[in-house]
């Protein structure tokens, strides 16, 4: 699977410019056992071999960049720098340099997400679920997330589609058994979890590449819906077409039909987003 290269325009210093990251302002040494990891941080898995390599580097050079924490009672909640904190513990450090700040829950989520995306530490499912949480819990729009993360809105929309996949398919992606390209193709089948899982199993069993997966899905969907106009009421058919188009285009679609004439409206949010939709339509 080809590594993703985020085009990030903002870092932690841009999100919270007074934090003192660049010049290590307000850094203090904190007992490493007084720090607790953030249970809500997007990243779930840590590569043990890479942690040991980082621990070796810390033994030789120390912790170069401080972690960021929030004071909570007798302990500190880790906001950014969990890899450094874990590696420092492996290296046997008693204390770790840290910057203590007060953050809202939304700021904590944004900081954790930005740090991980910048370092390409999140797998596609972790990234998708983090974006979904920002939308569901903190009411951010895709455009606002794109601005904070430094990605295009269309890139956010494409990743978000993976959050609706079957849990078994998500596990394959998290483990690296399926690529992000496979995941996006499978997300085009809609909300049928069993069908998603069936396709994922076929991809794995037959070692299909992304293009072969897309062809198989197209054939499968045509077989499922041979002639919807004959078997469904027109309004149900239009709803199904609307859903399928939104899945493929990653954007809101409106369809209306009156007096033997219909219209299709596709929303877009920037010139870049319009170009993305045009490319999909050409394909």
Contact 160, 128 (CB under 8 A): yes
Distance set, CA 69 to CA 19, 100, 171, 254 (Å): 11, 5, 30, 45
Q: 3-state DSSP call for residue 41?
A: coil
Contacts 24+ apart (CB under 8 A), 105-109: 105/137, 105/138, 106/134, 106/137, 106/138, 107/15, 107/16, 108/38, 108/40, 108/70, 108/77, 108/79, 109/40, 109/42, 109/133, 109/134, 109/137, 109/138
Q: Is 72 a catalytic residue?
A: no
Four-residue CA torsion sign, 4, 10, 15, 21: positive
Partnered with residue 174 across adjacent β-strands are none
Contact 167, 173 (CB under 8 A): no
Write down the catalytic residue from 82, 115, 129, 180. 82
Q: Which residues of 27-50 are buried (b: 16+ CB within 10 A; e: fewer)?
A: beebebeebeebeebbbeeeeeee
Closest CA relative to residue 138, chosen from 149, 146, 130: 130
Q: 3-state DSSP call for residue 30?
A: strand
- Both tokens of 171, joined, read 């596990």
Question: Hunting for tokens 């420092």 — which residue is that?
Answer: 88
Cα 153–chain centre separation: 12
Contact 271, 154 (CB under 8 A): no
Q: Which residues are marked as active site?
A: 82
């Amino acid at each position: 699977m080809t590594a993703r290269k985020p085009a990030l325009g903002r870092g932690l210093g841009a999100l919270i410019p007074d934090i003192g990251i660049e010049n290590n302002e307000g850094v203090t040494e904190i007992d490493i056992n007084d720090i607790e990891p953030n249970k809500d941080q997007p990243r779930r898995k840590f590569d043990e071999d890479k942690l040991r390599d980082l621990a070796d580097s810390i033994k030789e050079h120390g912790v170069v960049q401080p972690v960021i924490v929030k004071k909570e009672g007798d302990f500190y909640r880790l906001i950014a720098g969990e890899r450094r904190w874990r590696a420092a513990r492996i290296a046997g450090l008693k204390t770790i340099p840290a910057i203590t700040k007060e953050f809202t829950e939304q700021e904590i989520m944004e900081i954790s997400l930005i740090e991980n995306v910048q370092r390409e530490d999140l797998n596609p499912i972790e990234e998708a679920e983090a974006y979904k949480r920002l939308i569901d819990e903190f009411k951010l729009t895709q455009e606002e997330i794109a601005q904070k993360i430094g990605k295009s809105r269309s890139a956010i929309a494409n990743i978000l589609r993976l959050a609706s996949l079957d849990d078994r398919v998500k596990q394959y992606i998290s483990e690296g058994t399926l690529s992000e390209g496979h995941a996006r193709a499978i997300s085009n089948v809609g909300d049928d979890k069993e069908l998603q899982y069936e396709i994922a199993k076929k991809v794995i069993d037959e070692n299909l590449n992304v293009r072969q997966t897309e062809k198989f899905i197209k054939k499968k969907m045509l077989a499922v819906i041979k002639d919807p106009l004959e078997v469904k009421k027109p309004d149900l058919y239009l709803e199904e077409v609307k859903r399928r188009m939104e899945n493929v285009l990653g954007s809101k679609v409106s369809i209306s039909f009156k007096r033997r004439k219909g219209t299709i409206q596709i929303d877009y949010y920037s010139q870049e987003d319009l170009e993305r939709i045009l490319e999909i339509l050409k394909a």
